[in-house]
Structure 1
Amino acid sequence: MSVKIAASDRQLLRTQMRLRGAACCRQRAINRVKNGTGNQHPGDRRKNQYSRHDMAHERCEQCGNPTPPWDAIHCGSGEGSYELLCTSCFNARIAESTGFTDFENVRLDPIRMIDCEGEAHQFHFQLRLLGDRIALDAFELRGELRTGYRFQLIDEADDDVFVLLGRLVERMRRALSVRHIDFRERRIIDSTVRGRIEWDESQAGYLPLAVVDGKEVSWDDLGQMLMSMEGWQFRLDIADPSEEL
């Protein structure tokens, strides 16, 4: 068995630097209980996150507008406290703190794309300013929460947002043109599977949940599919969310 881990220490350090460049702001689920969640078990937080898809919106603590979970950012201060901000207010705060006054806070409309099997996917976008970088995320929603396919590009903060959008859409088209799993026959179609590692609330963090072709696949189900290839070799590549596999 040959295992290749592409997410090196250097990649992890780069990711940490991006987070610090964002003034220690981290994307978190909006339905955290405000009092005492710091001591709440991660499994309980994840269970709460996915058990209420039609929850009421909380309000941005800066502008006061109702903010859906997918558009909310918990922004940390040096004192260990957090504020819930909408993306627009988050970007304005980062722009002010970094002196990047030319940043244009663009709101992108959702787009609809068709995959290789004729299934439609509606993608929403979030643009975040991370110091001297910008991150553009595309994702599907189930209710008010992110699910299914997700894509991300990170580039220089002064780059044209619409050029970045065009590059991201091309990446999305490439991903939607490939199917890795036959979900009817519960088998891997070819010899390659690409996906995303997520939290499995039923396993309380002991086993991951894979998202392949925009669909959730339990670790047990993925293992059963792999058993048809018993004796074969494999290579495991893990990459940053902004990279293309």
Structure 2
Amino acid sequence: MERVTHVDRAREVLREAVEQSDDLVFFGGAGVSTASGIPDFRSEDGLYRQQFAYPPETMLSHSFYEAHPTEFFDFYRKKMVALGARPNRAHRKLAELEGSGPLTAVLTQNIDGLHQMAGSRNVLELHGSVHRNVCQGCGRVYPAEWVMATEGVPVCEECGGPVKPDVVLYEEPLDRRVLDAAADAVARCDTLVVGGTSLVVWPVAGLVDLFSGRRLVIVNKGATAMDGRADAVLDVDIARAFDF
């Protein structure tokens, strides 16, 4: 296993992985979007290191959403929705690689929609998206801009039902169709690039166990739970690493 701490060498490793791949899949987490101004969760400046009335893990749980909906939406609007964020170099390069052929799928734990904004088409959103907000009564879907313009608990304009973000909260199951599609993509690809995630959130971290292709590359600032399985570990800023 090669461990890389210099950006220039990291770019070389990624370029080689792309050039030698026929079916490349990217699996990313919160670290992909930090260069776009969206904080991650577990780093030194991450969301879980900040002080709130309740722990973020509690406020992002289904039970908290049910018991304290007003507080949930106050936190959600302030910390989980970043409508001003724009794709960074990593998002744009991945969209470019999909357009040129070798990249077949982007698997993301992020809910910000930046991959699609950058131009990626085959994006599997494992934890949902802030850009879909669904009435629990009639099923009408509202955009994030509509939720941000409301106060308190948003209610449907048609039936008056509560509108819930289409994001996977703690205590909620993942969408089985999305998870199955992600598993199929990892199982069939010959190159898997994992980026911006410490691989500690299950069950999505277990997707890496399904990989049996030629090359596994991990790009993350800091160690991950799967470093020992990788062919190369790039301990560098992911946006800079994808600038090739």
Greater C-alpha Rg: 1
Normalized per residue, the structure richer in helix is 2
TM-based fold match above 0.5: no
Tell me the TM-score normalized by structure 2.
Answer: 0.30
